[in-house]
Structure 1
Amino acid sequence: MKKLVFVLALSLGSFTAFAQDAESVQEEATEVVATQDGFNEVAADELPEAVTAAVSKNYPTASIDKAYVNEEKQYKLEVSLEDGTAGTLYADESGNWIEM
């Protein structure tokens, strides 16, 4: 009977340790994916005026859902249109569209 209690205690302890490790690995993987392409998220109100003006001019029904910037001051914009379509646009800090 003592052996059964001992085995159950060890099993419970190892399940708890495994769950903690899996959570930390998942958090680390999420962080790597977020910055893997070299872009870091910024608030939409931190975008240069030229970038927001270019979106308004070329896509008047678009709303900027998320914005990202890289070290070269290039901006990745996740936008959605009123008709439900969504896409990703890339612009430099002067508001010129770029191919990525």
Structure 2
Amino acid sequence: MKNYALLVFLILGITLNSSAMTGSNLIAEEITIITDEYVKIKSSELTPPVIEEILKQYPTSKLGGAFKNDKGEFKLIMVLKSGTRKTVYIDQYGNWINKR
């Protein structure tokens, strides 16, 4: 009788474990789809409104890197006067974007 109870609990545990693993795999798959992909570009590819906004907001900073995605949004790495780096996002029309 004890062997049957042990067998039932073992089968139940294996069944629940396999269904829990498939649920967690689905969640991880959805997260990877959401991310945006930025491609590195030259600073000469920035639009004039973007350049104007950079000069207004960060007059003493240098551009450490520029990236662009399919939506026309730019990811800019600004090197501040203190030497720290700050990542900012801006669209092609010079409007700042808040991303976390």
TM over 0.5: yes
Q: Deviations over 1:36-65 (max 9, x none)?
A: 741000001110111111010011111111
Q: Which 4+ runs in 1 deviate beyond 3 A?
A: none
TM-score, normalised with respect to structure 2: 0.61
Give the letter for the 2:63 counterpart: I
Q: Deviations over 1:41-100 (max 9, x none)?
A: 000111011111101001111111110000000000011012212110000001110012
5+ long unaligned stretches in structure 2 = 1-34
Q: How many residues align?
A: 65
TM-score, normalised with respect to structure 1: 0.61
**How far apart in 1 are the matches of 2:86 and 2:64?**
10
Aligned to 1:79: 78
Over the aligned positions, Cα root-mean-square deviation in angstroms equals 1.2
5+ long unaligned stretches in structure 1 = 1-35
Aligned to 2:49: 50
Q: Which has more radius of gyration?
A: 2
